[in-house]
Amino acid sequence: MLRSTSLRRVAPAVLLLPLLSGAPAATGTATADQPEAGLLQRQFAVAAERHGVPQSVLLAVSYLQSRWDTHGGAPSVTGGYGPMHLTDAVTALAEAPHHADGTEDARGDDARAPRLPKPAPEPEPGAALPARLRTLEQAAELTGRPAEELRTSTAANIDGGAALLAAVQRAAGLPASTDPADWYGAVARYSGADDSATAATYANDVFDVIRSGESRTTDSGQEVTLAADPDVAPATGQVAALGLRAPAKGPVECPESVACEWIPAPYEEFGDGDYGNHDKADRPVSQSVDYIVIHDTEGSWATTLKLVQDPTYVSWQYTLRSSDGHVAQHLALKDVGWHAGNWFLNAKSVGLEHEGFLTSPDSWYTEAMYRSSARLVRYLAKRYGIPLDRQHVLGHDNVPGPTAASVRGMHTDPGPYWDWAHYFQLLGRPITPSAGPAAGVVTIRPDYASHQPVYTGCVKAGEACAPHGSGAVRLHTSPSADAPLVKDIGLRPGGQDSTTGVNDTGARASTGQSYAVAERQGDWTAIWYLGQKAWFHNPKEEPTAVNVRGSVLTPKEGLASVPVYGRAYPEAAAYPAGVPVQAVSPLPYKLLAGQRYVVGGRTAGEYLYAPTFDTAGHAVVRGQEEYYEIQFGHRVAFVKAADVRVSQA
C-alpha cells in the first residue's frame, strides 16, 4: 500500500440478471435490529427456518465470511456487507494498486537504477464483474428486499444469505434437507469460487467449523454459539456436479490445505541492461529465507493479477483473494521478488499480497482469507525454519527504509486495520503473557474490536475515518492522551509531530510487536521507541499490552550512542573483485546509552549482487560483521553486534 493514497470508488454498471433463477421472492421486510441479548442468534434461527437451511450450515458459512460481525454496516475490502458478506462490488475497484504510485523503489537495491512505480491501468470500460462480487443483487431478487436493507439490516442480510444457500441447493436438484451433510455443494457454490479446488477448500473450512463448533462475542456485543457436530460427514462428491473449472496447478509450492494455482510472473530482458520483474536465485541454498512480508494489494484481484504478469512491473510470491481465500503463486520460492522496498529483506523474504484496501472506510478482511493466509504462512515457516513472531512475520509497514533517503517513501500496508491478534491465533501462536507485572518487555495486544482509535485521511486528508477496530496503539511524549505524539525524524526531518493519519506510522506500535519497558505510571506504560521514551495507555482493567520475557540490547559501556541501520550489509573487505561495495549507510536515528530494544535475531552481513538478467553474474557476499535485528519503532531495524550488549530483560 502507498503512504498517502486517497481512493476513489468506481461504481459498477447496474447488473440486471440474477445469478440464479427460479426461486420465489420472500415478502415483507425485517424489523429493525434491537440490542437485546440473543437477538443475532435468533435472527440466524429465523432465517434458517424460513428457507429450510440447517442452522449449523448458515452459522458456519457466516463465520467463515465475517465471524458473525456486522462491521456497523460498512463493506469489506471486496464490497461485502453484513454477517453473510453479501457483495455488490462498490468497493472492489480502486484507482491505485499497491505499487502503482508513490516513491518507493520496490527493489530497494543501490546497485541498479530504481524500479519506480508506474501508473495504474485504467479499468476496462464495461468489464463484467464476476458473480462473487454480485451476490447482494441476487439476494435482493430472491427475497424481494431492497438492496439498501440487505446492506444495513443484520436480519435482512442473514435472510438474504439463507435465501442464496437455499437457491443453490434447489438449482442442484437437491432437497432442503435437515442434515448439514447434504449441503456441501451449496456451501461450495456460496464461496463464489470459479474453480473446484477453491470451492472445495472453502466448503471444507465451513464443515470444519461445524465439526469443532464456535462461540464468540461479536463486534456488536452479541453472543453467538454454534454447537459442535463432530460426526458430520459431508457429501464432498457434490462439488463435481457444480461444473467448475480445474485450477491451473503448475509448479505450485503450497500446503494441501489451501487451493493454489500457478499464475507466473514473467522474466524478460528489455535491453539496455533492464529486465523484470524479479531475480532468479537458488534459495535457500544461496541464501536463507528468514522473513514473510504481509501486504495488501490496494487493487482488485483482476487488476493485481494483470500487474504481476506485466514484465515491467514488480513481483511477489503469492496473491490471496478476499472472498474465498484462493491463492495464486507467481514466483518459485527459490527466486527473489521485488516487493518490500528493501533489497536485504527482498532477498531473504517471501511476499504475500492480500486483496484489499488499507484506507477503505471501515475495511475488513474475510475469515476465509485470514485462514488461507495463516495456513500458507505456517507452511512457509516450517519449510524455512522462520520463527512465527512479529520480528519475522512482518507487515510491509514494518519493513525499514534501507537508507535515510528512503524512509519517507516506504509503504504502510496492511495498516492498522489488519487483525494481527486473530492472525497469530490462526498461526497457532496466540499472543499471551509470559511474565509478571514488573516485566521488562511488553508485547502490544489491545482488544481489536473494542479498541477504536481515531484515524484520519481514509477518504480525504484530515477527515476522520469511520470507527473501526484496530490492533495499533498511539504513542505520546508523556502519560496523557492530550500530550503530543512522539516524533519520527526519519519521516519528518524538520521535527514536526506525528499525526493521526491512517498512513502515518511515526507514533504507532502494533499488535505482536515487543518493546522494552522504560517506565510505568498508573494506567500508562512507556517503551523505548525510535530513540525516545514513548507512552501508551495500558489500563489494568483493559490492557493494551501483555507482559512477556525477552532479550534486549543496549549500547556497550562507554558508547553514548550507536548507529541504526535499515539493512544488514557486509563490511567493505568482504566484497570480491567485480562486485561494487554497498554502503553500510545508517538511518537518521540513534540508539542511545541507557535505552533498550527487543532483539529479534542475529545475522551475518549479507548482500545479493544480481544486477543482470544472466544469473552467471550473480553473487552472494557474506561478511564477518554481524547484526542484531531489533524492534526499534513501528519498523524493525538493525544494529551491529559489536556495538551492543545483550541481556535478558
pLDDT at 8: 28
Residue recorded with cell 533489497: 343
Please give the class, per CATH, of domain 39-92+129-242: mainly alpha
DSSP result, 257-271: TS-EEE-PPP-EEEE
Residue recorded with cell 496473491: 319
CB 183 within 8 A of CB 203: no
Range 609-618 average pLDDT: 93
Q: What number of other Cβ atoms are within 10 A of residue 454's Cβ?
A: 11
CATH number of 247-430: 3.40.80.10
pLDDT digits (tens, 9 = 90+) for 422-448: 999 999 999 999 999 999 999 999 999
Highest mean pLDDT among 112-121, 464-473, 574-583: 574-583
Q: What number of other Cβ atoms are within 10 A of residue 405's Cβ?
A: 12
For residue 277, pLDDT over 70 is answered with yes
Q: What number of other Cβ atoms are within 10 A of residue 165's Cβ?
A: 25
The residue ranking higher by pLDDT, 351 or 73, is 351
pTM above 0.85, yes or no: yes
pLDDT digits (tens, 9 = 90+) for 348-394: 999 999 998 665 645 688 999 999 999 999 999 999 999 999 999 99
The residue ranking higher by pLDDT, 360 or 644, is 644
Range 522-542 average pLDDT: 97
Residue type for position 124: E
pLDDT digits (tens, 9 = 90+) for 260-270: 999 999 999 98
Q: What is the CA radius of gyration of the chain?
A: 25
Burial-class residue 272 by CB neighbours within 10 Å (0-12, 13-18, 19+): exposed
For residue 1, give the C-alpha cell. Answer: 500500500
**The three-state (H, E, C) secondary structure of 201-247, written as one string:** HHHHHHHHHHHHCEEEECCCCCEEEECCCCCCCCCHHHHHHHCCECC
Which of helix, strand or coil describes residue 185?
helix
Burial-class residue 452 by CB neighbours within 10 Å (0-12, 13-18, 19+): middle
pLDDT-derived band at 287, boundaries 50, 70, 90: very high
Q: CA 177, 180, 185, 189 torsion: positive or negative? A: positive
Alpha-carbon distance of 159 to 49, in angstroms, equals 10
Q: What number of other Cβ atoms are within 10 A of residue 214's Cβ?
A: 17
How far does CA 103 lie from the centroid of its chain?
Answer: 22
Domain boundaries, the chain: 39-92+129-242, 247-430, 441-549, 555-648
For residue 204, pLDDT over 70 is answered with yes
Backbone angles phi, psi at 410, to 5 degrees: -75, 155
pLDDT digits (tens, 9 = 90+) for 111-139: 877 776 665 555 554 456 778 888 999 99
pLDDT digits (tens, 9 = 90+) for 236-251: 999 999 999 988 778 9
Which positions ≥6 away from 593 have C-beta within 8 Å? 554, 555, 559, 560, 561
Distances (CA, A) of 163 to 30, 69, 88, 156, 607: 14, 19, 16, 10, 57
